[in-house]
Amino acid sequence: MRAVIQRVNYASVHIEDKIFSQISKGLLVLVGIEHHDTDQDCQWMAHKIANLRIFPDEQGKMNLSVKNVHGQVLVVSQFTLHASTKKGFRPSYTHAAKPDIAIPLYNKFVTYLEKELDKKVPTGQFGAYMRISLENDGPVTIIIDTKNKE
């Protein structure tokens, strides 16, 4: 499981020119699921993201988590995070999980994140064509992969 986490002032998902979901201050999480991912990957990733200390404290030092600042989290599925560009110029997505594996794990990840944050987590729509709008804060962008736990 791979995630790109962006600290944002706001973010929104548009589907068919309508706002599907949106947040104010918090994290936009783009998440890609591999065919080898497990329930444990979902739990680990949710715990890690909820507790990442990437928000500034009173001295401006990144020392607070999204939980500490009472921020929101918006989760969007993105299979292209598992693109392989080794050969040629057209990315291969063979490592990305097929929907029958990815959808249940994606939903578990969101559920675990909701438990970690003790609040509802807005999402995109799995498999839909989405437009994402956001304002980066910092900018702060972190990439986490459960396979190498970083």
- pLDDT tens readout for residues 9-48: 999 999 999 999 999 999 999 999 999 999 999 999 999 9
150 within some domain: no
Torsion 149-118-108-15 (CA) sign: negative
CATH number at residue 105: 3.50.80.10
Strands 26-32 and 72-77: parallel
Instruction: Domain of residue 63: give its range.
Output: 2-145
pLDDT along the chain (150 residues), means of 10: 98 97 98 96 98 97 97 95 89 90 97 98 95 97 89
Q: Any residues with CB less than 8 A from the CB of 148 and at least 6 apart, and which?
A: none
Greatest alpha-carbon pair distance for the chain in Å reads 48
Q: Hey, CA dihedral for 31, 37, 38, 44, is it positive or negative?
A: negative
* Helices 39-51, 99-117: inter-axial angle, 10-degree rounding: 40
Active site residues: 80
Residue 124 lies inside a defined structural domain of this protein: yes
Quick one: pLDDT at residue 39?
97
| Predicted TM-score (pTM) of this structure | 0.95
In this prediction, residue 150 carries a pLDDT of: 64
Count of the separate structural domains present in the chain: 1
What is the reported pLDDT for 69? 97
Position 4 scores a pLDDT of 98
